[in-house]
Amino acid sequence: MPDKDKPLLEVKELKKYYPLTAGITSRHIGDIKAVDGVSFSVGEGESLGLVGESGCGKSTLGKTILRLEEPTGGKIIYKGTDITTLDKKALRQLRKEIQIIFQDPEASLDPRMTIGQSICEPLVIHNIGDDREREEMLVWLLEKVGLEPNQASLYPHELSGGQKQRVGIARALALNPKLIVADEPVSALDVSIQAQILNLMLDIQNQMGLSYLFIAHDLSVIKYVARRIAVMYLGKIVELAEREALFGNPLHPYTEALLSSVPTLIPGARKRVLLIGEVPSPLNPPPGCRFHPRCPHVMPACRQEEPALIEVSQGHSVACHLHRS
Ligand code: SF4
């Protein structure tokens, strides 16, 4: 039985900056701070949701954890081992345990490979099993994601969007991972298909004891799948709480605004908080609290002092001067 309180993954002050250069001497003129000092953990068998507007850095964070992007600073600790600077060989081994499901199932599959070849590719790369064992594994994986064995010979263009994402999930499961980073796994699908894929992912989690880092911009999707939720704004986590606490008692003005934009059938259930202005550039984030140019509660201190992420009640952390003790 997985222990949700035992961290499988710990991310500490993780940073991913992209340097900007100018002129023929490639003079360094600044950094795009896509991820800027993010810390959280994911327990065994747990789903942690990561939510925020597009461009807030959440997908970069997911890729940096997998070392598909190299971190600029901070630490990534998996099963108690620092994996931030693992060499290529050790990283290859690690990729068996940490897999990713991409947003666009179309782009993540090779159009020249059959579904069966795509699903078995990770087994071939890692030299796992012989032909017969891979065949058995393929049938098991297809069944697990609700596809028929005879669909193994089809090509991606012969499948619907939902079926392609099922193939993406089967491919991610092939190496029996412990953690899956799911980067907007349903946002490219029809709404009617989204619930099927989310239910499939939850069923598989229950059966295999997987952990998910579930990245999405859609709060209703995150609410459905995640036990704890981190809200990200301009490269930083601004609130982190259990699902019930976040939805029942949001503390950060940005979280309040996000929640108030979710349609509800209950009249007057939540007053709409309108966000003014655009998300500022991560190249030149505002001083102090990054949310201050858009915050309806801005105070003088917010323009000067960056609020730290502080635990204000059991398991509920927020980075806002309104809630400092
Ligand atoms: Fe708003 Fe200030 Fe809190 Fe930032 S620190 S969210 S500007 S009240």
pLDDT in tens, 168-186: 999 999 999 999 999 999 8
pTM: 0.90
Cα 135 to Cα 265: distance, rounded to the nearest angstrom: 48
What integer pLDDT is reported at residue 264 of this predicted model? 58
Pocket of ligand 1 (CB under 6 A): 252-253, 289, 291-292, 295, 297-299, 302, 307, 320-322
Q: How far is the CA of 316 from the centre of ligand 1 (A)?
A: 17
Q: How far is the CA of 319 from the centre of ligand 1 (A)?
A: 8
Cα 261 to Cα 270: distance, rounded to the nearest angstrom: 9
In the 3-class helix/strand/coil scheme, how is 140-204 assigned residue by residue?
Answer: HHHHHCCCCHHHHHCCHHHCCHHHHHHHHHHHHHCCCCCEEEEECCCCCCCHHHHHHHHHHHHHH
Number of independent structural domains in the chain: 1
Please give the mean pLDDT across all residues of the chain: 90
Q: Is the pLDDT of residue 192 over 90?
A: no
Q: Is residue 203 part of a domain?
A: yes
Q: Is the pLDDT of residue 265 over 60?
A: no
Task: CATH number of the domain at 303, please.
Answer: 3.40.50.300
Q: Is residue 262 part of a domain?
A: yes
Least confident residue range of 189-198, 234-243, 288-297: 189-198
Helices (H) and strands (E) in the chain, counts: 9, 12
What integer pLDDT is reported at residue 26 of this predicted model? 84
Q: What are phi and psi of 241, to 5 degrees?
A: -160, 165
Q: Is residue 171 part of a domain?
A: no
Q: Which of 94-108, 180-194, 223-237, 259-273 has the highest mean pLDDT?
A: 223-237
Single out the residue of 281, 231, 215 nearest to residue 33, CA to CA: 281
Q: Is residue 74 part of a domain?
A: yes
Q: Is residue 267 part of a domain?
A: yes
More confident residue, 202 or 271: 202
What integer pLDDT is reported at residue 104 of this predicted model? 83
Q: Ligand 1, from 276, 305, 321, 323: best to mutate by most atoms within 8 Å of Cβ?
A: 321
Read off the tokens for 198: 């989310």
Q: Is residue 123 part of a domain?
A: no
What integer pLDDT is reported at residue 209 of this predicted model? 92
Q: Is the pLDDT of residue 1 over 70?
A: no
Place of tokens 């490639």: 26
Q: Ligand 1, from 232, 255, 289: best to mutate by most atoms within 8 Å of Cβ?
A: 289
Domain that holds residue 319: 7-97+177-323
